[in-house]
Copies of this chain bind each other. A is one copy, B any other.
């Protein structure tokens, strides 16, 4: 068989086997692998074990390796000529609340049609990241079935703590650095540019997440008996939150923007050329006015500017009805997305110093860290990047683009710092996938052509 004939045969196998691929995805989606909630620890292990079994069935040497948290699945394919790729994805998912906003059970995956007649796979994790993860594994399966081997040497590292701070993966990578050596890392956890245009993401924001718990009195108080006289921690936490953003949308922490560089005129021009529709982007979630720094484009806000977001806040009585209480404690979960150049340690320290300064007499604050990682920028001129772009372009019949992303994928920074690897971020999700929200979905097309895309990309990398 010529290279092209072999490629065509593998792609035909993908097309013919799509239903079986979906069956396997659905099996994985039914496993409730919510990593942040200890109640679902056994489900996380179940997902890891299932993946190890599947990969062993494809000729990998695979196992679910224990960590102090959830297992990491590591798998190695047979040696091959050409580059050695290390594929990463995560098998854990976000919690599902508010459950009442789901139109179907989040762990009972379904294929439905959306309003425009497009077929979608609806389930928690359909897009983030089980669907994306299986695009790669199913591409490997098709190669194995048709050619008996893979075009390059493939290792996989599939983790279970991406959605919960991921404290155990970096030490695991350090402890197993020799075993995990490769030439390039591949990560499938990002979006296409639009439904016609594949993309490789080369700028990812970092993340610092912190929880603050402010305590005043030693018990909940009656607001009639103690109001005015006793410090109210709800008020204290609200004042801290309010102090973090200026009226112009900028973040107020001292030094926050010190290490933030303006993007180059070239990149700015390229982004303008993407024709991003700010109105449509915000309109898709019923908004119309960008809330961030005034005078910046939405793409800048999302890709090249740091954020401060309040992901959760809670204090006092929050059930139905009313209770005239002054609570003993109030809390907030706050995260900062970082851009290239910002030091997570420095930002966390600046945040904590700012909070400490705002804690009044009689109050104390506890900080609970929830992970931190720097932003990364992938060199935009490498050989692997060029080959991967050509593979993607071959599948989609359209030149693949290079984009930024507002999200954070800490492991990309760790591939660089721990293993010395650059990362290609290739994904098939869409901005309307409602990841982390009720009714998460993955386009059936993302799944099908995502598998085909990896077939092309692996072929391109082998040349």
- Which residues of A does B touch, CB under 8 Å? 36-38, 94-95, 97-98, 101, 163-165, 205, 207, 209, 211, 216-232, 234-235, 237-239, 241-245, 249, 281-282, 285-293, 298, 301-302, 305, 307, 309-327, 330-333, 335, 337, 360-362, 370-371, 405-408, 431, 434-438
Contact = CB atoms under 8 A, between A and B. Distances in A.
Nearest to A315: B313
Given A285-B230, A287-B231, A322 B165 contact: yes
A437 to B, nearest CB: 4
A404 to B, nearest CB: 11
Given A311-B317, A312-B318, A371-B322, A431 B230 contact: no
User: 10 closest Cβ contacts across the A-B interface?
Assistant: A224-B407, A36-B321, A228-B292, A238-B241, A242-B242, A312-B316, A234-B310, A218-B286, A228-B301, A322-B370
A315 B312 contact: yes
5 contacts: A218-B285, A222-B435, A228-B293, A231-B289, A238-B313
Nearest to A242: B242
A326 B292 CA distance: 14
Contact of A323 (B95, B238, B330): B95
B326 A311 contact: yes
A5 to B, nearest CB: 41
B317 A285 contact: no
B37 A95 contact: no
Nearest to A285: B217
A302 B228 contact: yes
Nearest to A368: B322
A165 B309 CA distance: 34
A305 B406 CA distance: 48
A229 B320 CA distance: 32
Nearest to A329: B98
A294 to B, nearest CB: 11
Given A218-B285, A302-B225, A438-B219, A234 B312 contact: yes
B361 A288 contact: yes
Nearest to A290: B229
A243 to B, nearest CB: 8
Contacts of A286: 217-218, 362
A229 to B, nearest CB: 5
Given A224-B408, A237-B313, A311-B325, 16 more contacts: A207-B324, A217-B287, A223-B335, A224-B337, A225-B302, A225-B406, A227-B337, A227-B406, A228-B307, A228-B406, A229-B301, A237-B238, A288-B361, A289-B361, A313-B330, A322-B335
A105 to B, nearest CB: 18
A316 B311 contact: yes
A288 B98 CA distance: 40
